[in-house]
Structure 1
Amino acid sequence: MFEQTITHHIQKHILSVLLHQKTVRFRDLRPPRTDTNLFSYHLKLLQQHKFVEKIEGGYTLSPLGLSYVDRVNADKLFVRRQPKMITMLLIQDGYGHVLLQRRTKQPYIDTWTLPYGKVHIDDESVLAGARREAYEKLDLKSTAPRHVGDAYIRVKTQDELLSSTLVHVCRFELDEYEESADIKWCAPLKLSDYDLAPAVEQIVTRSFFGDDFFFGEYDVEL
């Protein structure tokens, strides 16, 4: 998908007008007191980048344009900073041990977490995203996860918001998995022996026994 932030005031004006109407004629898209050639240039740029389409009766937002305006502030058309959405995999063996994975990048590098990954826009469902992450991160091909809960994690440091994450917790049962330097089985009562990423211990506690679907909110200060 083409990724671009629209910053030019003429292009933002065009998108702002199309945001509130299905189809707009050429003359109604032009900002007041703007040279026609300059306006035409920026309209063509939006068409070239597939944000705007010309149809019978005028111009309209393309599918990419619709996706873009869905992500921006409606008044000033800047891209909103939004929480990251991930699937987090609670993988348990027959003894109740959970699989931990060491983070190898910032933020929270070298801490231990449940395996996780971002939800993709083309994932057909939360569980499909979890299965994809299980395959990509751990090479697990035959899995039947269960969506057991959601968590919202906000992490601050020195009064600055470091991260904001919506977590879909999906539970897997697994007979065995070979450990490595970055992947370890851990007994739940031994979690405190590890330097854990924010809210991991709380999430394991809430979802470990497979009780009713849960939702938790966690504010963490580092």
Structure 2
Amino acid sequence: MTNETTRPNVLLVVAHPDRDSATWAIGRAIEQGIETDGNATVTTHDLSRTGFDPVFGEQDLAHYRQTGAAPADVLREQRLVDSADVVVVLFPVYWWAMPALAKGWIDRVFTRGWAYDDGPDGGPSAIDQLHFVGVAAVDEGTYDRRGYREAMTTQLQHGIAGYSRIDESSVRLLFGAETADPHAHEHLTAEGHKIGADLAQRAQLVFDRNNEA
């Protein structure tokens, strides 16, 4: 992480094409939560509107095999991540997992030698903190009964963040997004605001630690 700003920054990566969706309503609440105390800033990165290509192609494979350079769009994404103290990926849950746009962002941007090193002497990741916020259509009970929550946590927090030796990570699922009940939507945005406030505090700690080093 190479944040050169004077305030901690949270990078909010959103993988949803509809700005009127519950996911984006929660995203705006997260933004507000981050900016509440005025100490932290937020950079919102809309993967859909930027046209990010999630397909892991020939150039990505060559870079993985260490026979070619990273694609230019991947390098741009990595520079954006480098400017942040904390990274959070916000996405709607599709088939009990991240949608292709979010997963493809991880597949392509989290490259060997930058996000992780699978050698025996691999060093720390370029990413200080990585947090996932999934927006689920159905209720919490469905996830608990079927083991979906545990499966997603294993995949995201341990399989991605843990393997990459990222210092801190979390998985937060918000339930019941596909309902006509306005109180449910109010609850979801309230939770989003709390998540944002927590991310701001985390970013401040990372910022302070890195500037003391």
TM-score range, shorter chain: under 0.3
Give the TM-score, by structure 2 length: 0.25
Give the TM-score, by structure 1 length: 0.24
Larger fraction in strand? 1
Larger fraction in helix? 2
